[in-house]
Structure 1
Amino acid sequence: MDIILYNNAHGSPTIAAITKADVYANGSVFWEPPVVYNSMCAIDIKWFPYDEQECYMKFGSWTYGGFELDMVHLDTDVVEHVSQENGTVWNVELGVDISEYQESVEFELLSVTGRRHEKRYPCCDYPVIDITYFLKIRRKKLFYTVNLMIPCVGIAILTSFVFYLPSQSHNKINLCINILVSLTVFFLLLIEIIPPTSLTTPLIGKYLIFTMCMVTASVVMTVIVENTHYRNANVMPPFVRHLFVKLFGRYYNYHPPSSPLRKSGQKSLPMNAFRTLEDHFQRWGKKGDGTDKTQPKNIFGSAQNPPNAVAFLRRSTDAFPAVPELLRRRVYRMNRNIRYIEQTVHRTRRNKDLHSDWIFVAMVLDRLMLVFFSVTILVGTLYTWFSAPSLTDYRMPITTKFPPKPLLF
Structure 2
Amino acid sequence: DEKNQVLITNAWLQMYWFDVYLSWDQYEYPGVLNLRFPADQIWVPDILLYNSADERFDATFHTNVLVNYSGSCQYIPPGILKSTCYIDVRWFPFDVQKCDLKFGSWTHSGWLIDLQMLEADISNYISNGEWDLVGVPGKRNEMYYECCKEPYPDVTYTITMRRRTLYYGLNLLIPCVLISGLALLVFLLPADSGEKISLGITVLLSLTVFMLLVAEIMPATSDSVPLIAQYFASIMVIVGLSVVVTVLVLQFHHHDPQAGKMPKWVSSFRGMKKPGENIKPLSCKYSYPKHHVSVNRMEMNVLPGHQSSNGNMIYNYIAMEGRCCPQKNDPGSKSGKITCSLPEDTELVQKKGLMDTIPVIVKILEEVQFIAMRFRKQDEGEEICSEWKFAAAVIDRLCLVAFTLFAIICTFTILMSAPNFIEAVSKDFA
Structure 2 length normalisation: TM-score? 0.69
Offset, 1:231: 1.4
Q: Which amino acid letter does the alignment assign opposite residue 105 of structure 1?
A: G
Q: How far apart are the structure 2 equivalents of 1:238 and 1:53?
A: 58
| Cα deviations by residue, 1:260-301 (Å, 9 ceiling, x for unpaired) | xx8489xxxxxxxxxxx9768799899799999xxxxxxxxx
- Residue of structure 2 aligned with 1:96, choices 107, 117, 120: 120
Q: What is the count of residue pairs matched by the alignment?
A: 331
**Aligned partners of 2:99 and 2:160 also within 8 Å:** yes
- Equivalence for 2:158: 134
**Aligned partners of 1:110 and 1:137 also within 8 Å:** yes
Q: How far apart are the structure 2 equivalents of 1:335 and 1:66?
A: 118
Offset, 1:324: 4.9
- Equivalence for 1:161: 185
- Equivalence for 2:35: none
- Equivalence for 1:212: 236
- Equivalence for 2:86: 42
The equivalences for 1:245-264 within 5 A come to 247-249=271-273, 255=275, 263=281
**Aligned partners of 1:232 and 1:352 also within 8 Å:** no
Offset, 1:48: 1.5
Q: Which amino acid letter does the alignment assign opposite residue 242 of structure 1?
A: S
Q: How far apart are the structure 2 equivalents of 1:227 and 1:396?
A: 48
- Residue of structure 2 aligned with 1:238, choices 264, 270, 275: 264
- Equivalence for 1:11: 55
Q: How far apart are the structure 2 equivalents of 1:163 and 1:364?
A: 10
Q: How far apart are the structure 1 equivalents of 2:249 and 2:425?
A: 50
SS at match of 1:360: helix
Q: How far apart are the structure 2 equivalents of 1:243 and 1:132?
A: 65
Unaligned runs of at least 5 residues, structure 2? 1-44, 284-299, 303-311, 326-350
Q: How far apart are the structure 2 equivalents of 1:15 and 1:152?
A: 42
- The range that moved more, 200-209 or 361-370, is 200-209
- Equivalence for 1:193: 217
Unaligned runs of at least 5 residues, structure 1? 75-94, 266-276, 293-320, 398-409
- Equivalence for 1:390: 420
Offset, 1:185: 2.5
Q: How far apart are the structure 2 equivalents of 1:133 and 1:41?
A: 12
Q: Does 1:72 align with 2:147?
A: no
Q: Which amino acid letter does the alignment assign opposite residue 417 of structure 2?
A: S
Q: How far apart are the structure 1 equivalents of 2:48 and 2:263?
A: 79
**Aligned partners of 1:257 and 1:356 also within 8 Å:** no
Offset, 1:69: 0.4
Aligned in 2, Cα 1:137/1:70: closer, same or farther, shift over 3 Å? same
Q: Which amino acid letter does the alignment assign opposite residue 133 of structure 1?
A: Y
Offset, 1:138: 1.0
- Equivalence for 1:179: 203
- Equivalence for 2:394: 364
Offset, 1:178: 2.0
**Aligned partners of 1:71 and 1:131 also within 8 Å:** yes
Offset, 1:3: 0.8
Q: How far apart are the structure 1 equivalents of 2:425 and 2:248?
A: 50
Q: How far apart are the structure 2 equivalents of 1:55 and 1:34?
A: 19
Aligned in 2, Cα 1:161/1:344: closer, same or farther, shift over 3 Å? same
Offset, 1:162: 1.0
SS at match of 2:82: coil
Q: How far apart are the structure 2 equivalents of 1:354 and 1:256?
A: 16
Greater percentage in strand? 2
SS at match of 2:78: coil
- The range that moved more, 121-130 or 345-354, is 121-130
Aligned in 2, Cα 1:256/1:264: closer, same or farther, shift over 3 Å? closer
Structure ranking higher on relative contact order (CA contacts 8 Å, 6+ apart): 1
Q: How far apart are the structure 1 equivalents of 2:426 and 2:84?
A: 26
Q: Which amino acid letter does the alignment assign opposite residue 34 of structure 1?
A: P
The equivalences for 1:46-125 within 5 A come to 46-74=90-118, 95-125=119-149
Q: How far apart are the structure 1 equivalents of 2:59 and 2:409?
A: 54
**Aligned partners of 2:317 and 2:353 also within 8 Å:** no
**Aligned partners of 1:2 and 1:14 also within 8 Å:** no
Aligned in 2, Cα 1:181/1:16: closer, same or farther, shift over 3 Å? closer
Q: How far apart are the structure 2 equivalents of 1:18 and 1:283?
A: 127
Q: How far apart are the structure 2 equivalents of 1:385 and 1:54?
A: 21
Q: How far apart are the structure 1 equivalents of 2:408 and 2:137?
A: 40
Instruction: Provide the aligned C-alpha RMSD in A.
Output: 3.2
| Cα deviations by residue, 1:152-197 (Å, 9 ceiling, x for unpaired) | 1111110001111122221222222222232223333333222333
| Cα deviations by residue, 1:36-95 (Å, 9 ceiling, x for unpaired) | 211111111122111111110111111111111011134xxxxxxxxxxxxxxxxxxxx3
Offset, 1:379: 0.9
Q: How far apart are the structure 1 equivalents of 2:155 and 2:316?
A: 123
- Residue of structure 2 aligned with 1:23, choices 67, 78, 83: 67
Q: How far apart are the structure 2 equivalents of 1:15 and 1:375?
A: 55
- Equivalence for 1:342: 372
- Rg bigger for which structure? 2
Aligned in 2, Cα 1:14/1:184: closer, same or farther, shift over 3 Å? closer
Q: How far apart are the structure 1 equivalents of 2:62 and 2:250?
A: 77
**Aligned partners of 2:317 and 2:354 also within 8 Å:** no
Aligned in 2, Cα 1:25/1:184: closer, same or farther, shift over 3 Å? same
Q: How far apart are the structure 2 equivalents of 1:327 and 1:395?
A: 92
- Residue of structure 2 aligned with 1:355, choices 339, 360, 385: 385
**Aligned partners of 2:59 and 2:81 also within 8 Å:** no
Offset, 1:394: 7.0
